[in-house]
Amino acid sequence: MKILFIGDVVGRPGRDCITRWLPEIRSKFGIDIVVANGENAAGGLGATPDVLKELFASGIQAITLGNHTWRKKELAGTIDTMAAVARPANYPDGVPGKGSMVVALPDGRKLGIVNLIGRVYMEPFGCPFERAVWELERLREVTPLLLVDMHAEATSEKIAMGWHLDGRCSAVVGTHTHVQTADERILPKGTAFITDVGMTGPMDSVIGMERDIVIRKFMTGMPGEFKVAAGPALLSAVVIDADDDTGCARSIERILRKE
């Protein structure tokens, strides 16, 4: 199975990048399934049902979220109806939505997807390491092809998750920090890993936001309303090739498209 995972989609520029480049990428790499992190897809913070529907219409087949899952209150009332959307699995019990999902392809193959959120420099949710193992053991009864989105701030926490899950899933991909890292590799037991897939959104920005507003906040400490930047955009992603029978990754390749 060829899996394309697209890093954090930021606002309208990020969504436009997918419309522009996804058909070419799918054709060039022979992609079977497209997964994207969509937690910043609506105005740079959060996601709405309409924006998620737009992403699905553009060719995305599954969407993961993160720490901005509930920024748009309308999502809380509808996420339970969205079969191909996952929020972090280690959110507290009783939170709407689900932390994992299985997406079936027309040829019968299935991809299990787990969404996690880190705890370092973020809100103290349940242990992502324990939850990951529980979710993967359950999904493995359905399919050996398993993908984990580790949405976390600290590179050390994402790297630790990769080693923790080596041999337990096809891939662990890091999201949230919006800067693509150059450490993609296949770990010894067959799990593909990258610390951060990167961002899909405005290039001349501070992780997607207007530069001057962010710089002013760093210099003064005063709050300001962040806005999605304008100008040229980029698409950051990885292609993972996983064995259909064993689930082990054969390769992982970074993709970076710029306007």
Catalytic residues: 68
Domain assignment of residue 208, given as a range: 2-258
Q: What is the pLDDT of residue 123?
A: 85
pLDDT category of residue 259 using cuts at 50, 70 and 90: confident
Number of domains the chain is built from:
1
Model pLDDT for residues 172-199, shown as the tens digit of each residue: 999 999 999 999 999 999 999 999 999 9
Span 13-43, pLDDT tens digits: 999 999 999 999 999 999 999 999 999 999 9
pLDDT, residue 224, reads 81
Report, as an integer, the average pLDDT of 40-56.
95
Question: 66-111: per-residue pLDDT in tens?
Answer: 999 999 999 999 999 999 999 999 999 899 999 999 999 999 999 9
The CATH number covering residue 101 comes to 3.60.21.10
pLDDT of residue 68: 94
Over the stretch 209-234, which tens digit does the pLDDT of each residue have?
999 999 999 999 988 888 999 999 99
pLDDT of residue 150: 98
Q: Which of 52, 45, 69 shows the shortest CA–CA distance to 18?
A: 52
What is the CB neighbour count within 10 angstroms for residue 212? 12
- What pTM was estimated for this model as a whole? 0.96
At residue 159, φ and ψ (nearest 5 deg) are: -65, -40
Residue whose C-alpha is closest to residue 5's, from 172, 155, 131? 172
pLDDT in tens, 133-175: 999 999 999 999 999 999 999 999 999 999 999 999 999 999 9
